Structure 1
Amino acid sequence: MWDIDYTLLRGGGVAGNAWKAAFTAVTGQQWRHMPILGGRTDLDICAEVFDVHGVTDCTPERFFATYAERVHADRHLFAEHGSLMPGVRDVLAGLAAHPHVVQTLVTGNIAPVARLKVAAFGLGGVFDAEVGGYGTEDHVRATLVRRSRERAEAKYGEPFEAVVVGDTVADVAGALANDAVAVGVATGSTRAGDLRAAGAHHVLTDLSDTSSVVRLLGGLDRVG
């Protein structure tokens, strides 16, 4: 279960700019508050933004539809202004070679934006997006992990050992709440020590040691 932002890639501010533009388009208000984003779901962020701006006449569904349209229009900018994190492409390919591994996205992003972000870097075919967990499903990230596992087990007809890979303490907490293996990657703003303190079973500086990371995430080396 892969987080996206600062775990797989940097989006170069494209989604953030689309969020602000969509907010003004649907509410008529100028953007004046930037919430803390790391590890949160879009549903949770939306609730805070609406509250701070005093918005009572707009639903998250209406906002997210406009937001997704804005991101779609600017999707070409992800590759221009953003980048993949070190080692990502090779690790994803290495895991894809193992038939017992199913890769999906568990992300605070809404599903259409999640798809656009990974597709911008040619990664859309790597993930079984159908069994993912997305940011419109709940305010709490742990719920996304639970629902993703339930979907995977229903689709494939067998139990899975869930492995959550992310760059924030929220990713770690979501894994631990579901008895999943928590792998922290210190490629975002959260330090490696803070990921360990949050209870991550494994903490990586980045994903550049491809063979070791594939063995860990594929369950070949893991003892935690």
Structure 2
Amino acid sequence: MTRLVMWDIDRTLLVSGKAAHQAYATAFTAVTGVAWRAMAVTAGRTDRDISAEIFAAHGIADCEPHLDGFFTRYADEVHAARHLIAEQGHLLPGVRDVLQALAGRPGVVQTVVTGNIPAVAAAKVGAFDLARAFDMDIGGYGADDVARAPLVRRCLERTHAKYGGPVHPVVIGDTTFDVAAALACGAVAVGVATGATSAAELARAGAHAVLDDLSDVDAAVAVIAG
């Protein structure tokens, strides 16, 4: 059985600084010609969901005709500023060691389920040299759907298509959105209180396990690997 470990990125693995938000603003104005006003709340949400809110707040009721062009330009802007992700941001405690420890376990496959579109997810993990830990091809991404649970489902579908056989899924994230998505898809939900959501809130949302962070590598691996 494959132990499929699905990581959220932002505030679970790393903090990326302001580069992505600036790229959002630049791409939005470049594609729409509308002056940028403000960013939406992003924690736990998908880029499709965030974009719909931002476009509406800037007077564009239907974002769909613009999304392909916007996501392409957004990805280009993030890659151009990729050096700033590492300069302004940082890895969260224990992340590199936990990823390496899990990578050495037979039957464990690690990927990402993130609100980011694929190219931006790749830029963020690549900025900290984490890409080798993940099978990015099977991930669930913010371009897949507005809601979070369908991202987990898409990841499971891609995993079955690539690896076959039974899968034991685990979702790791810092928000109640991550926990809810895991539970909706029959996955083990592991909350990590490294974002704005407290350990108590993650537990109340139904997380099977909650960690303050990943600094206790052995404890984190035991929870995640089962």
What TM-score, normalized by structure 2, do the two folds share?
0.95
Determine helix, strand or coil for the equivalent of 1:5.
coil
**2:176 aligned with 1:169:** yes
Cα displacement (A) at 1:193: 0.8
Structure-2 residue corresponding to 1:14: 19
Structure-2 residue corresponding to 1:130: 137
1:52 corresponds to which of 44, 51, 57: 57
Determine helix, strand or coil for the equivalent of 1:216.
helix
Gaps of at least 5 residues in structure 1 are: 220-224
- Which amino acid in 1 is paired with 2:203? R
- Which amino acid in 2 is paired with 1:25? A
Determine helix, strand or coil for the equivalent of 2:210.
strand
Determine helix, strand or coil for the equivalent of 2:107.
coil
- Map 1:73-112; keep pairs closer than 5 Å: 73-112=80-119
- Percent of matched pairs sharing the same residue: 58
How far apart, CA to CA, are the structure 1 residues paired with 2:186 and 2:149?
A: 10
The answer (yes or no) to whether the contact 2:169–2:188 under 8 Å persists in 1 is yes
Cα displacement (A) at 1:33: 2.8
**2:70 aligned with 1:63:** yes
How far apart, CA to CA, are the structure 1 residues paired with 2:31 and 2:161?
A: 37
1:85-141 deviation line (CA, Å, top 9, x unaligned): 000000000000002100000000000000010011011111000110000000010
How far apart, CA to CA, are the structure 2 residues paired with 1:196 and 1:36?
A: 22
1:204 corresponds to which of 188, 204, 211: 211
Determine helix, strand or coil for the equivalent of 1:59.
helix
**Higher relative contact order, structure no. (Cα contacts within 8 Å, ≥ 6 residues apart):** 2
Cα displacement (A) at 1:45: 0.5
**2:195 aligned with 1:188:** yes
- Map 1:211-222; keep pairs closer than 5 Å: 211-219=218-226
Q: Figure out how many residues of one structure are paired with residues of the other and give that number.
A: 219
Determine helix, strand or coil for the equivalent of 2:120.
helix
- Which amino acid in 2 is paired with 1:213? A
Structure-2 residue corresponding to 1:113: 120
Cα displacement (A) at 1:34: 2.3
1:1-47 deviation line (CA, Å, top 9, x unaligned): 00000000000111011101111111112211321111000001111
- Which amino acid in 2 is paired with 1:99? P
2:36 corresponds to which of 21, 31, 40: 31
The answer (yes or no) to whether the contact 2:21–2:39 under 8 Å persists in 1 is no
How far apart, CA to CA, are the structure 1 residues paired with 2:35 and 2:87?
A: 27
- Which amino acid in 2 is paired with 1:24? T
Gaps of at least 5 residues in structure 2 are: 1-5
Q: Identify, as 1 or 2, the structure richer in strand.
A: 2
Cα displacement (A) at 1:68: 0.4
Cα displacement (A) at 1:143: 0.2
Determine helix, strand or coil for the equivalent of 2:172.
strand
How far apart, CA to CA, are the structure 2 residues paired with 1:159 and 1:122?
A: 30
